[in-house]
Structure 1
Amino acid sequence: MKTHSAHFNPERQRQVLQALLKVLPANCVLHELEDTKPYECDGLAAYTELPMIVVLPEDEQQILATLGVCRELAVPIVPRGAGTGLSGGAMPTSDGIVLSTAKLKRIVQLDKNARTAIVQPGVRNLAISEAAAPLGLYYAPDPSSQIACTIGGNVSENSGGVHCLKYGLTLHNVLRVRIATIDGEMIELGSAALDAPGLDLMSVFIGSEGMLGIVTEVTVKLVPKPECAQVIMASFDDVITACNAVSDIIKAGIIPAGLEMMDQRSVHMVEPFVKAGYDLNAAAILLCESDGSETEVRDEIERMSRVLQQAGATAIAVSNSEAERLRFWSGRKNAFPAAGRISPDYYCMDGTIPRKKLAQVLQGIADLEIKHQLRCANVFHAGDGNLHPLILFDTNTPGELDRAEQFGTDILAMCVDVGGTITGEHGVGIEKINAMCLQFTSEENDAFFAVKRAFDPAGLLNPTKTIPTLHRCAEFGREHVHHGQQKFPDLPRF
């Protein structure tokens, strides 16, 4: 655990607190240690920082009032949803406030004809589908934390889920975002129509991790609930064979609703926890789902089964009921909490690679286990190459957290080396800010900062996150070689 004690100036806290209480109800402002302590981190619990003050506005006007105080007094602001993020994007700064949108949890409108929902940022991901169910509709993105995570956080991180191969990430399922800017304006990006005039700033905003504005309202797409869905559990006696089967399915022209992979360690980790019916003898399993009409599903399941058999599957099981389908998926969705059964701590990485490189990267991760003397359970969105290695360690063992972090950095470097990227859906936050230096040049980082300055000239929104400074990159890897050339040749080398 890398914790920091509160070191804000008490006089500064009183100044900001008094200003906030002039524009907000007292029940919306937290400043005592026992109240602010729960906000010291998000899902990346290895890093903590006590915020100076926590604000929980109840409406748009209170958000604008809060931003006005922070702008006037130059107070940093860290936006926060449900705190389920895994990259430290909602970790506070000790001299700033946390602005939580948890109280804005109203579903404003459901439109069956337009197949849309207008929701406030504090609405839970799963709650949208629950509300739309009577209309025969649902919201497709389904991150594993969907029972708790909120749509505002999903927008900030561009979250996905096990069905993102067919239905896309948050970006592909949002039509419009309403935002409070640091300047005190309300702006709308996107529209209810197919396209919006001007630059596509909504694509810039989604995934920006709270650095450009505060989400106050989101219009999402709803899709019809499929008539039928079935999932195949295919077993393989070799991880490499399972990886190749993923490419074979896509090569056959099949786009499953979900295509997930778990190695043997993750299967053994999950099965006692949820009793999903997984094959404990398999070196790896694939979960391949088809949804649509009964005819479509029957045909696609048959086609996928043939491909999997030809690819070397040792066993194939097909769900025979909705309960069995949900049970198959329950293991995959509970992989993270199940890690606690076999390890005191785990570090969940998130990188994306080309599908054809899956086998190579998994072999590389196995080599890194030996190098760092730590175990790793692999569970991931195989269909789109989004890896989620779970590095298992014990914080109480001296040096293990540092080794786990270096293990993770090595995985991300490998993702970049094979033509991938350092994140898929968890964001950068503080966790991967150094790894940004592995992937992007100083010119690219300058472009990112230019966008940041356009929205937030004073740099008050979620500072010190996501975009590394040139100096930080120099400190991180002075000898790093990028495409055969030194990354920052103009900087001094030590």
Structure 2
Amino acid sequence: MIIQDKKQQRNWKPIIKQFEAVLGKNGVVQRREELITYECDGLTSYRQRPAVVVLPRTTEQVAEVVKICDRHNIPFIARGAGTGLSGGALPTEECVLIVTAMMRQILNIDLENQQVVVQPGIINNWVTQAVSGAGFYYAPDPSSQIICSIGGNVAENSGGVHCLKYGVTTNHVLGLKLVLPDGSIVEVGGQIPEMPGYDLTGIFVGSEGTLGIATEITLRILKTAESICVLLADFTSIEAAGEAVSDIISTGIIPAGMEMMDNMSINAVEDVVATGCYPRDATAILLVE
């Protein structure tokens, strides 16, 4: 007796042809060995190979891909640089993975109004590199800022060491162009921090891809500080270092950033980098910028 799998296998060939009509053959990844790259994001403990990977370059291409998925009732997941540690870009079985890594254009730089418009595949650190010569920078700085994408930052509402003073991604996103799950294109927010009406930008930032895909992002940039100084203080206990943080904040002084390291972290850094700056015998240190 032959027992047939109740799960109906999808015929991907005509669907892939539709994707190729929109993106070209180079914009569609379907070979099994090539799909392995996209099995997981930075959370490597969990893996699932997508059925197809698509690589759009424009908002319109993203919208057309989503419309195809919608017509065929195919689940899709957006992926940026794949550096996230929460599994947000982890494919599901038989899904289409929409990778925005090819959407790497800075569309507009407006120094007078301190804003830039970028595609989601732009790397976080590239924004600062693009405006640093004019004395500006982009404040949110995740530890992966040299490899993580702005689109991923928006999806996860990423922060960084400087979020203490300057806030996380949502505090620096002024507007978004979005592709919704039915393929329609909408714009939310605008070019000023406080737009009238509902804060739809705030709802989308941090929604982890559940509401749609950001294809253009208007970011706020800041003037670079005239000077930067980092203070290192060592403590005989972790509790004392923690209390120092509270004492600093209670005075009304908000440093650009503060980080605490315990003895194990101090020695791990010195073993690898050998800075000579961190006292190996300290129970804890506090770095204040």
Into which bin does the TM-score normalised by the smaller protein fall?
over 0.9
Give the 3-state SS of the residue equivalent to 2:219 in structure 1.
strand
Mapped partners of 1:9, 1:278: distance in 2: 60
2:114 alignment partner in structure 1: 115
2:142 alignment partner in structure 1: 143
Give the 3-state SS of the residue equivalent to 1:228 in structure 2.
coil
Q: Deviations over 1:34-71 (max 9, x none)?
A: 21111110110111110110011011111011001100
Unaligned runs of 5+ in 2: 1-6
Contact preservation (8 Å) 2:162, 2:256: yes
Mapped partners of 1:146, 1:36: distance in 2: 25
1:245 alignment partner in structure 2: 244
Mapped partners of 2:115, 2:286: distance in 1: 32
2:279 alignment partner in structure 1: 279
Q: Deviations over 1:141-185 (max 9, x none)?
A: 111100000110000000011111111100001111110112222
**Stretches (4+) displaced over 4 A:** 8-11
Contact preservation (8 Å) 2:23, 2:55: no
1:23 Cα shift? 2.6
1:198 Cα shift? 2.2
Q: Where does 1:127-206 land on structure 2 (aligned, <5 Å)?
A: 127-206=126-205
* Aligned positions, number: 282
Q: Where does 1:353-432 land on structure 2 (aligned, <5 Å)?
A: none
Change (3 A) 1:9 1:269: farther
2:227 alignment partner in structure 1: 228
Change (3 A) 1:12 1:267: farther
Q: Where does 1:91-102 land on structure 2 (aligned, <5 Å)?
A: 91-102=90-101
2:288 alignment partner in structure 1: 288
Mapped partners of 2:278, 2:89: distance in 1: 35
**Aligned partner letter, 1:187:** V
Change (3 A) 1:181 1:280: same
Give the 3-state SS of the residue equivalent to 1:61 in structure 2.
helix
TM-score, length of structure 1 as denominator length? 0.56
RMSD: 1.4
1:197 Cα shift? 3.0
Q: Kindly indicate whether residue 63 of structure 2 is the aligned counterpart of residue 64 of structure 1.
A: yes
Give the 3-state SS of the residue equivalent to 2:22 in structure 1.
coil
1:269 Cα shift? 1.6
1:133 Cα shift? 0.9
Mapped partners of 2:255, 2:236: distance in 1: 22
Unaligned runs of 5+ in 1: 1-7, 290-494
**Aligned partner letter, 1:284:** A
Mapped partners of 1:130, 1:52: distance in 2: 36
Mapped partners of 1:235, 1:78: distance in 2: 45
1:240 Cα shift? 1.0
Q: Deviations over 1:69-115 (max 9, x none)?
A: 10000111110010010100000012101101001100111111101
Q: Kindly indicate whether residue 70 of structure 2 is the aligned counterpart of residue 89 of structure 1.
A: no
TM-score, length of structure 2 as denominator length? 0.94
Mapped partners of 1:49, 1:205: distance in 2: 26
Mapped partners of 1:233, 1:16: distance in 2: 58
Mapped partners of 1:100, 1:254: distance in 2: 42
Give the 3-state SS of the residue equivalent to 2:64 in structure 1.
helix
Mapped partners of 2:8, 2:36: distance in 1: 17
Give the 3-state SS of the residue equivalent to 1:22 in structure 2.
helix
Give the 3-state SS of the residue equivalent to 2:70 in structure 1.
helix
Give the 3-state SS of the residue equivalent to 1:209 in structure 2.
coil
Q: Where does 1:347-358 land on structure 2 (aligned, <5 Å)?
A: none
Change (3 A) 1:128 1:9: farther
**Aligned partner letter, 1:281:** D
